[in-house]
């Protein structure tokens, strides 16, 4: 992360946290005579368009009042990460509960399953159909890459307490 991105992150983080949001990333890139400032935020349960609009207004005011951007004009984009973003932190796995994911482990094995449970150190996937009850627990440190798969026409998967105790792994 560049020095400008770090300054922007330091200025914006307290306001974002005060709203009960997680700052996922800050990216500052040149865009002609301006800079493009992309801020990604999220929280459990997601973030609404009204939340984004209100937050954008407040973050813009804070950036204008600080020296984080220097004198160069900027364009601010505030959004939430896309549904297909990589799962890199335990909170991403928690928020993906019930979602279909593709996981590549460090040993090269590739899994596909629905997240039924997660902790700070591992995630449990339903790797078979709902009736088979086949589960696999993966340690997050053993994951090379994991990503939610976009599904159309999925009726939903409700993880039950029986799912969490039905792991192999």
Residue 159 has pLDDT above 50, yes or no: no
Q: Which of 154, 63, 19, 61 is nearest to 100 (CA)?
A: 154
Pairing of β 74-79 and β 135-139? unpaired
User: In this structure, what token pair is assigned to residue 99?
Assistant: 């979602």
What's the CA gap between 149 and 81, in Å, rounded? Answer: 14
Domains of the chain: 3-79 (3.30.300.70), 90-164 (2.30.30.100)
Quick one: 112 exposed, middle or buried, by C-beta within 10 A (0-12, 13-18, 19+)?
A: exposed
Q: What is the pLDDT of residues 32-72, one digit of tens each?
A: 889 999 999 999 888 899 999 999 999 999 999 998 888 88
Instruction: Quote the pTM value.
Output: 0.73
What's the CA gap between 90 and 82, in Å, rounded? Answer: 17
pLDDT number for residue 128 = 76
């Amino acid at each position: 992360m560049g020095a400008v991105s770090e300054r922007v992150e330091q200025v914006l983080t307290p306001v974002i946290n005060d709203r009960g949001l997680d700052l996922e990333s800050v990216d500052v890139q040149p865009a002609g005579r301006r800079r493009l400032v992309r801020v990604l935020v999220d929280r459990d349960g997601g973030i609404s368009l009204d939340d984004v609009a209100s937050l954008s207004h407040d973050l813009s005011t804070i950036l204008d009042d600080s020296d984080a951007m220097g004198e160069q004009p900027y364009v601010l984009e505030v959004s939430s990460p896309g549904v297909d973003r990589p799962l890199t932190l335990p909170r991403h796995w928690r928020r993906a509960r019930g979602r279909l994911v593709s996981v590549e482990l460090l040993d090269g094995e590739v899994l596909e399953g629905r997240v039924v449970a997660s902790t700070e150190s591992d995630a449990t996937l339903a790797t078979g159909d709902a009736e088979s009850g086949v589960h696999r627990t993966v340690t997050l440190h053993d994951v090379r890459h994991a990503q939610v798969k976009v599904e159309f026409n999925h009726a939903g998967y409700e993880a039950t307490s029986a799912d969490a105790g039905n792991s192999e792994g």
